[in-house]
Amino acid sequence: MTAAALRARLSRPLPLLLALLALTYGVAAVGGLAAADAEDVYAALERPGWAPPGWLFGPVWTVLYASIAVAAWLVVRRGRADGRRPALTLWAVQLLLNLAWTPLFFAAGQYGLALVDICLLLVSVALTVAAFRRVYRPAAWLLLPYLLWVAYAAALNWSIWLLNR
């Protein structure tokens, strides 16, 4: 398929949304494959009293990944063209950092490196929210729960790193 044909196909709303959903849920699937025994690992860790139960992560991330995809879709479909490219570049960076965290934390047991990654993720999500706000405000609003969850997850990662050194 040529680049022009791909652009034409993605210019239609539904295929673009489906592609973005597939990309974000693909990140989730790769993370899931890298940490097949994540629930057992999480249960075996020393955790702070405010840590959520392991079963909560799946439903929360399912909703967050949908909002991440829909926010990008809104930026592409309705956003101002002048800020779209930098906003989507930041979106891609945060998605890559998101992808890296699960294998670092669960598969490799590298809680310190995972903490560095999630701190970078937190900054990149905040920058993405700011960039999306300039391009299309509703897209930025969709990312706020993700930003809050990543901040919470960063604090949890930090606590787990301290408790399990």
Tell me the domain boundaries of the chain: 3-163
pLDDT of residue 1: 58
Task: List pLDDT tens digits, range 110-137.
Answer: 999 999 999 999 999 999 999 999 999 9
Contacts with 100 (C-beta within 8 Å, 6 or more apart), sequence order: 117
- Average pLDDT (94-104) is 96
CB 128 within 8 A of CB 91: yes
Phi, psi at residue 42, to the nearest 5°? -60, -45
Structure tokens at 149: 């969850």
| Predicted confidence (pLDDT) at residue 100 exceeds the cutoff of 70 | yes
pLDDT band, residue 5 (cuts 50/70/90): low
pTM of the model: 0.90
pLDDT of residue 164: 96
12-16, 36-40, 57-61, 102-106: least confidently modelled range: 36-40
pLDDT band, residue 7 (cuts 50/70/90): low
Q: What is the mean pLDDT of the chain?
A: 93
Task: List pLDDT tens digits, range 24-35.
Answer: 999 999 988 877
| Predicted confidence (pLDDT) at residue 6 exceeds the cutoff of 70 | no
d(CA 102, CA 89): 21
Structure tokens at 41: 């690992």
Architecture of domain 3-163: Up-down Bundle (1.20)
| Predicted confidence (pLDDT) at residue 10 exceeds the cutoff of 60 | no
pLDDT of residue 32: 83
| Predicted confidence (pLDDT) at residue 38 exceeds the cutoff of 70 | yes
